[in-house]
């Protein structure tokens, strides 16, 4: 059985009511014409802290006891989870320490500090971020808020899928497929759990960077595969070394497949989102749209839901992508 149920996601939605943004749906005639179907974009770029990660962080932190909140929380993240935890902690009056890689986008580090969190920097290629996080938790008595391997976090991310189905139903639409970015797999696990419960015949797909295709390879082999430490991608938000211990079994059951996209395809999707859709989306947040634009799968006249998971793109990188340098 799934470690996270639809009831858990509904409970998370109740906790997040009035705290998280119920992000809208965006439909573009130009995108529909290009892909030959109806595409409903779910822009979590408009979520608090600019990404879906706030949902899972707030669902987790809001369930801590008064004593746990007073001691605070610690998390490890390249940026979006960092900001989500920092903001949730500030809103609930809890201290926060965030372990972030030295190459995290400067804007994400600045925003995390701006939400009042203490930032501890590490080298993602030589240091063990989980060990650093666990040491801080032990030393200070803090609660760890893992970025994806936590049932409360997964349930919080699942509210994206719950809203997506509810909002399309309100429009009289039943989705045929849903595409979600995949890093550690928390968003995909939560969204696919919600979608499959509400729309059992809908197909759900994950999308990840080609250099970080651990989930795609894991789905093929049936075991958790790892990434080459030398791998690099502009998708900083999706650079996890392997699928989560909790998330992978869920995604094995609920995802119909996983696609991968190159950095060039991601860059093209960022340009399309900006010039045609008038949306600013970060590399890791645009991979699902990139898969459709690159023709990885056909909509075939159906209706697709696409999660744009975050919009915290480094301004310098954004300028280079718009200029066609990447």
- Cβ contacts of 238 within 8 Å, gap of 6 or more: 181, 182, 183, 208, 209, 212, 284, 287
Active site residue 53: yes
The tens-digit pLDDT sequence of the chain (326 residues) is 458 999 999 999 999 999 999 999 999 999 999 999 999 999 999 999 999 999 999 999 999 999 999 999 999 998 899 999 999 999 999 999 999 999 988 889 999 999 999 999 999 889 999 999 999 999 999 999 999 999 999 999 999 999 999 999 999 999 999 999 999 999 999 999 999 999 999 999 999 999 999 999 999 999 999 999 899 999 999 999 999 999 999 999 999 999 999 999 999 999 999 999 999 999 999 999 999 999 999 999 999 999 999 999 999 999 999 999 99
**Residue 118: in which H helix or E strand, if any?**
strand 118-122
Q: How far is CA 144 from CA 53, 64, 148, 192, 228, in A?
A: 15, 11, 11, 25, 27
CA distance 70 to 321: 43
Question: Which of the residues 28, 78, 233, 309 is marked catalytic?
Answer: 309
* Planar angle of CA 256, 260, 261, nearest 5 degrees: 140
Q: Are 243 and 216 in contact (CB under 8 A)?
A: no
- Structure confidence at residue 3 (pLDDT): 83
Dihedral angle computed from the Cα positions of residues 65, 77, 124 and 151, in that order, rounded to the nearest 10 degrees = 60
Closest CA to 175 of 306, 274, 10, 57: 306
Residues paired with 39 in a beta bridge = 304
Active site residue 296: no
CA 74, 152, 60, 182 torsion: positive or negative? positive
- Report the predicted TM-score, pTM, of the whole model to 2 decimal places: 0.96
- Structure confidence at residue 2 (pLDDT): 55
Q: Enter the tokens of residue 211.
A: 């250099």
Say which CATH architecture domain 6-51+150-322 belongs to: 3-Layer(aba) Sandwich (3.40)
Q: How far is CA 76 from CA 45, 65, 72, 107, 121, in A?
A: 21, 21, 14, 16, 10
Helix-helix angle 53-61:80-91, to 10 degrees = 40
In whole angstroms, what separates CA 91 from the centre of its chain?
21
- Cβ contacts of 131 within 8 Å, gap of 6 or more: none
SS (H, E, C) 159-200: HHHHHHHHHHHHCCCCCCEEEEECCCCHHHHHHHHHHHHHCC
- Structure confidence at residue 1 (pLDDT): 46
In whole angstroms, what separates CA 100 from the centre of its chain?
17
DSSP notation for 115-150: TT-EEEEE-TTTS-HHHHHHHHHHHHTPEE--SSS-
Where in the chain is CATH 3.40.50.1100?
A: 6-51+150-322, 54-144
Residue with tokens 């049936």: 222
CA distance 205 to 148: 18
Burial class (CB in 10 A: 0-12, 13-18, 19+), 269: buried
- Structure confidence at residue 125 (pLDDT): 86
Say which CATH architecture domain 54-144 belongs to: 3-Layer(aba) Sandwich (3.40)
Question: Which of the residues 2, 42, 53, 77 is marked catalytic?
Answer: 53
CA distance 212 to 38: 29
């Amino acid at each position: 059985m799934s470690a996270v149920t639809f009831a858990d996601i509904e409970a998370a939605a109740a906790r997040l009511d009035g705290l998280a943004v119920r992000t809208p749906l965006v439909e573009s005639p130009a995108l529909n014409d290009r892909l030959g179907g109806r595409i409903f974009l779910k822009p979590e770029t408009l979520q608090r802290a600019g990404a879906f990660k706030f949902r899972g962080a707030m669902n987790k932190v809001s369930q801590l006891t008064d004593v746990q909140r007073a001691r605070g929380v610690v998390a490890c993240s390249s940026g979006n989870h960092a900001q989500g935890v920092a903001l949730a902690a500030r809103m609930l009056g809890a201290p926060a320490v965030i372990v972030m890689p030295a190459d995290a986008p400067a804007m994400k580090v600045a925003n995390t500090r701006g939400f009042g969190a203490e930032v501890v920097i590490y080298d993602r290629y030589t240091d063990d971020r989980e060990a650093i996080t666990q040491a801080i938790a032990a030393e200070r008595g803090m609660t760890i808020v893992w970025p994806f391997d936590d049932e409360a976090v997964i349930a919080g991310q699942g509210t994206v899928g719950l809203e997506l189905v509810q909002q399309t139903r309100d429009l009289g639409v039943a989705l045929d497929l849903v595409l979600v970015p995949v890093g550690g797999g928390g968003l995909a696990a939560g969204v696919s759990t919600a979608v499959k419960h509400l729309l059992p015949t809908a197909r759900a797909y994950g999308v990840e960077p080609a250099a970080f295709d651990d989930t795609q390879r894991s789905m093929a082999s049936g075991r958790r595969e790892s990434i080459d430490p030398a791998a690099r991608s502009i998708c900083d938000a999706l650079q996890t070394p392997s699928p989560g211990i909790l998330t992978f079994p869920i995604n094995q059951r609920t995802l119909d497949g996983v696609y991968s996209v190159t950095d060039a395809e991601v860059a093209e999707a960022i340009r399309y989102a900006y010039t045609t859709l008038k949306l600013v989306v970060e590399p890791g947040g645009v991979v699902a749209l990139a898969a459709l634009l690159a023709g990885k799968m056909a909509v075939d006249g159906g209706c697709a839901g696409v999660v744009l998971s975050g919009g915290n793109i480094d301004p310098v990188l954004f300028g280079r992508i718009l200029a066609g340098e990447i």
